[in-house]
Amino acid sequence: MAKKKTKFICQECGYESAKWMGKCPGCSGWNTLVEEMEKPASSAHEKRSFVTAGGGIRQKPQSIMDIEQKEENRVSTYINELNRVLGGGIVPGSLVLVGGDPGIGKSTLLLQVSATLSEHKKKVLYISGEESLKQTKLRANRLGVGNDYLFVHSETDVEYIEQAIDQVNPDLVIIDSIQTVYLDHITSAPGSVSQVRESTSVFMRIAKTRGIAIFLVGHVTKQGSIAGPRILEHMVDSVLYFEGERHHTYRILRAVKNRFGSTNEIGIFEMKETGLEEVLNPSEIFLEERSSGASGSAVVASMEGTRPVLVEMQSLIAPTSFGNPRRMATGVDHNRISLIMAVLEKRAGILLQNHDAYVKVAGGVRLDEPSIDLAIAISIVSSFRDQPSRAGDVIIGEVGLTGEIRRVSRIEQRVQEAAKLGFERVIIPDRNFGGWTVPDGIEVIGARDINEAINEALGGRASGAPKFEL
């Protein structure tokens, strides 16, 4: 009888080793290698028969000019924010991975999607590996979900799940979650690298060969990335992250990978007792609690995909009590704050080296585009001087290391959003003028460098600040 062989696999990156090691050479993670049984090698004939039976008829290579092109008919979810993130709707045969922190609302959103599709005569099969049928029914009753086109099944064995898909023949399948399902011929526990990878491969084959859209729910690690090997994100067509503070009611659905649409779109929802509701005008939500006349505040128009969103940047500058001043950021990159403060010291003469700096994006949203630089700089100077900026100002621009204000993209859409919400003035890069029409009822001011922007926003230069000319 052949001796069973084992190997050690990293649960973070999938690195394989013949012996156990405390530190993974692949991702440098500690205590991540777990012992698993090696899968017995199959003969070449068995491999061919398996692929033919599950994958259908093999095709010969074709010239790209001979391939017939037709538009994919997307299936609307009837939830506009989700349609926006997916690129217009669900593509039949696509495999979508939805990740997020526990309790953030992943299952609630997908159950609501199941309800809207089933109400429009689309068959939906909801596979719950974490809840019993009665628990799923209780949650469905709370959300007001239920009709004859929505099928629920509590199962974790992938082979039985495939049989259930054959019986129902649905238009959409939801697997909640991928870390709970398993293949019987793999000896490792559910949620391990081998189980997650092979189970996802089976669902990918089902989606591509039968034209069924499949949504997979994925758990996340302490670092915020989806648990399991990174290959899981490479296998699927789209990766959606559900973000937001558990203590806030607003949730942000962000696409970090999408083969059928833009990867910069976001959808914003509000968590209520009856489930998630769409936020049609997120700018009003992010600015509704803004304090008037407070220093350290500036409003910026940021682009999230094709949508302009107005958010408030808040800064608090205070004298430090330590040898090294603290730099803390929430919603923006920590390194960007240090860079902007260095530019303010060098180019505007504002000495911040003996002050702690705390910068936050109000509302729990995360921004990473360069156009928010100028708003961060103005909010820092406003807090440093304890001088509030004008409540009717929106500030847009990228700050260069030499102090210049660089142009940003889609300036017309940003200014139109500011005008729609009743703002009186917009400070933009001087190089963004020309080629577009200024909306009525709003004043647009151009700034060439950081000193001009500070002078316009706060009315005056820092004492002793050097004159800076481009």
Handedness of CA 292, 294, 295, 300 (dihedral sign): negative
- The answer to whether 101 is annotated as binding is yes
Q: What is the pLDDT of residue 54?
A: 46
Whether 102 has a binding-site annotation, put simply, is: yes
Name the CA dihedral angle for 401, 329, 380, 389, rounded to a multiple of 10 degrees.
120
- Residue-wise pLDDT tens digits, 24-83: 888 888 888 888 777 665 544 444 444 444 445 566 788 888 877 766 688 999 999 999
Question: Residue 4: what pLDDT?
Answer: 66
Query: What proportion of the chain, given as a percentage, has pLDDT over 90?
Result: 49
Establish whether 323 is an annotated binding residue: no
Known binding residue 123? Answer is no
pLDDT in tens, 362-384: 877 888 899 999 999 999 999 99
Q: Is there a binding annotation on residue 360?
A: no
Q: Is 56 annotated as a binding residue?
A: no
Parallel/antiparallel/unpaired status of strands 443-447 and 150-153? unpaired
- Mean pLDDT, rounded, for 137-145: 88
- pLDDT at position 434, please? 84
CA atoms 65, 68, 71, 72: torsion sign: negative
Q: How far is CA 92 from the centre of its chain?
A: 22
Q: What DSSP string runs through 28-72?
A: --BS-EEEEEPPPPPPHHHHHHHHHHHH-S------GGGSPP---
The answer to whether the annotation marks 282 as part of a ligand binding site is: no
* ∠ CA 283-288-291, rounded to 5°: 125
pLDDT of residue 225: 58
**107 marked as part of a ligand binding site:** yes
Residue 470's pLDDT is 30
* Mean pLDDT to the nearest integer, 129-146: 88
* pTM for this prediction: 0.75
